Structure 1
Amino acid sequence: MPAPREDSHILYLNRQIDELKRLADELDVYLHPFQPSLPWSVFEHLQRLGEQISHVKQTASLLENERQKSLALVDISQIVNSTLDLNEVLRIVMDTIIRLTGAERGFLMLRDKAGELVTQVARDWERESIHPSDFAISRTVINRVISLEQPVLTTNAQLDPRFEGQDSVVAHNLLSILCVPLKVKDELTGVIYADHRLRAGIFSERERDLLSAFANQAAVAIENARLFESTKKALEESLEKKHLEAQQRLFERMVSPAVIEQLDPDKIQLGGQRAEITVLFADLRGFTRFSEHQAPETLVAILNRYLAAAADAVLAHEGTIDKFMGDSIMAWFNAPIPQPDHVLRAVRAALDIQFTVSQLQQELPRVYRLSFGVGIHFGEAVLGLVGTEKRLDYTAVGDCVNSAKRIQENTTPGQILLSSEAYDHVAGKVIVNPVPPIHAKGKDRPLQVYEVVGLIE
């Protein structure tokens, strides 16, 4: 058979006491007619028996209340420690305190980093949060708890000589007040404050002792929740840092590290600014036909090697890679950091692309040997962040970009074509061959271009 529950024993004991009291009353009624013939001591003993039975019942009731509170304390410990969410822990703590003590309101305050007490949660007897405008409490009582690090109990603050003349007590008409310290490892971390503004004598030493015992458990639970929250935040910050570092590494593969070091993140805003730049487009000639005869895995591997060679050449001359578009790359110079020799940097990058690709071709089988056609143009464009706060692209927009793309489309494998506008900035510094003007798509007039073959030492 299952063991009888403890509360069933209590109920049985109460019934036995009630039955004993009933029998005593019946005996008194039965003996009353024989009162003249019986010694008076019989009735005295019978009366005393009734009084003792009533006292036993009252004592049993008090013990049962204490037992219920002790059981509640155990339950509270389990509930409070069932979650590590700080806000949830604070809410549970406060609602439980009000339920156990019969308080009208409850406030839980914790010390911040500066050591000041800050109200973390305020609840009423209806389990509703109290608006900050209704935080009418006794700072005198709270300060006394902090200074003594001991509980403070008053059954009627209006008549308590300890708080006579205190403005907060008088102004807010506070009656029953109970305040206990929260301690973790003998260090005061906050206070629990409960009161009743309408009734005196709500709290007694029992509520004080119960709340003090509960406060010890609550303080540990709150500290655990705070540590968990702190650890979680540190972990999130660590993950965010790693994410930012990964983004930084990706950005460094697109923009020269020397340029990155000079950028001010606080000055980069959504939108654009006009700037004179030199735009470079490089495209793998014949790649479309080449791709028709290759497996996807092989195609991607070969493409990455060529694009890496072009990107490295651009970054070596502190250019900014705008984007990779299939088998081509777009880059520019003179932004976001001004470069007085930006046209010459673009020409040198293009020549380095040729040289690097020629070396790469020697490492690859003949079938994988491809060449870039490079177009370079100088002009005005709008540069800036385009997109949304969640997804931004730092890009260049304008006819300057379109012209560079059209020039590149007219190159042959391994050829570098330079617009006349760009050539004007490097004349005397580069070796060029004259070529016929090109009829670019979308242009009303032919574009004058030059083929770059080298640099003048």
Structure 2
Amino acid sequence: MTPEPASVCLGCWQNLHMPIPLRGPLSAPFRLFGIKPSRMNPNTCTICEMAFSKIMKARAVTIDATIMFADLRGYTALTQTIAQNGLTQLLDAFYDDCAAAIWRYDGILNKTIGDAVFAIFNFPVRREDHAVQALQAAREIQQSFGRRRAELARSIGAGDVEIGIGIGIDSGETNFGEFGQSHRDLTAVGTVVNRAARAQAVARSGEILVTKAVHDRTRGMVTADGSDHLLKGFDQPVTLFPA
């Protein structure tokens, strides 16, 4: 179940000390000026999407963040075998489970890319334990989707195609801001983003793979041994831990 939005924008309150109403009668005047809950996280607002004056002046800032990519396994195969309404039902379930968990743990759902989602933790809502928050969100995604996977597969007629979610997480310094000239995109870029994406690419269905940075920041939540992986775009092996 998707969490209820906060009464005021958490990002504006934390970063600008401004109580921007998101719900109720007090929010009406703000909506007239286009200030409303963000689509990235309903606990933040469209002011946060503009990334505040600091980012708008600098175009990009370096932040300490945790990045999560989650990909729906089996979707591509199913596009060849099931009807469009079944694909829509599957994607809706996937996006709903991801959004609910990401928002619950103060992340933003920065992008949906086909059958994958890209989430950022520690901006605009600051959390010292953002790596912990991201891992908790990832585990909740796997648990929520796992509970309904069998019924969903029957409902859409998946047959022998296994559906599930693979997740990759990395943590560290990344650039966040608006990028592009003809089409500006508010997002995060850098090595941490790339490494999280590549970790997701090698994760099996139902698996969460985290980097050593996440392993070290999550205070014993990850107990499995790591193994080295040759990830596309990285010259040296990257140690990943099942979480």
Give the TM-score category using the shorter length: 0.7 to 0.9
Q: Is 1:283 matched with 2:71?
A: yes
1:396 maps to 188
Call closer, same or farther: CA 1:400–1:265 in 2, change over 3 Å: closer
Answer whether contact 1:256 1:318 (CA < 8 A) is retained. no
Q: How does 1:147-226 map to 2 (within 5 A)?
A: none
Structure 1 position 260, deviation (Å): 3.8
Structure 1 position 421, deviation (Å): 1.4
- The CA distance in 2 between the partners of 1:386 and 1:261, in whole Å, is 18
2:56 maps to 269
2:240 maps to 449
2:34 maps to 244
Structure 1 position 317, deviation (Å): 0.4
Q: How does 1:64-143 map to 2 (within 5 A)?
A: none
1:206 maps to none
- The CA distance in 1 between the partners of 2:46 and 2:98, in whole Å, is 22
1:352 maps to 140
Q: Render the CA deviation track for 1:118-170: whole Å, top value 9, x for unaligned.
A: xxxxxxxxxxxxxxxxxxxxxxxxxxxxxxxxxxxxxxxxxxxxxxxxxxxxx
1:341 maps to 129
Structure 1 position 322, deviation (Å): 1.3
Unaligned runs of 5+ in 2: 1-27
Give the % identical residues: 29
TM-align CA RMSD: 2.6
Q: How does 1:37-56 map to 2 (within 5 A)?
A: none
- The CA distance in 1 between the partners of 2:31 and 2:46, in whole Å, is 18
Higher RCO, Cα 8 Å, sep 6+:
2
**SS of 2:229's equivalent?**
coil
Answer whether contact 1:256 1:319 (CA < 8 A) is retained. no
**SS of 2:139's equivalent?**
helix
Amino acid at match of 2:167: V
1:152 maps to none
Q: How does 1:367-386 map to 2 (within 5 A)?
A: 367-368=157-158, 370-386=163-179
Amino acid at match of 2:129: D
**SS of 1:322's equivalent?**
strand
- The CA distance in 2 between the partners of 1:443 and 1:431, in whole Å, is 24
Call closer, same or farther: CA 1:325–1:243 in 2, change over 3 Å: farther
Call closer, same or farther: CA 1:294–1:242 in 2, change over 3 Å: farther
Amino acid at match of 2:204: T
Larger CA Rg, structure 1 vs 2: 1
Alignment partner of 1:424 out of 194, 197, 216 = 216
**SS of 1:423's equivalent?**
helix
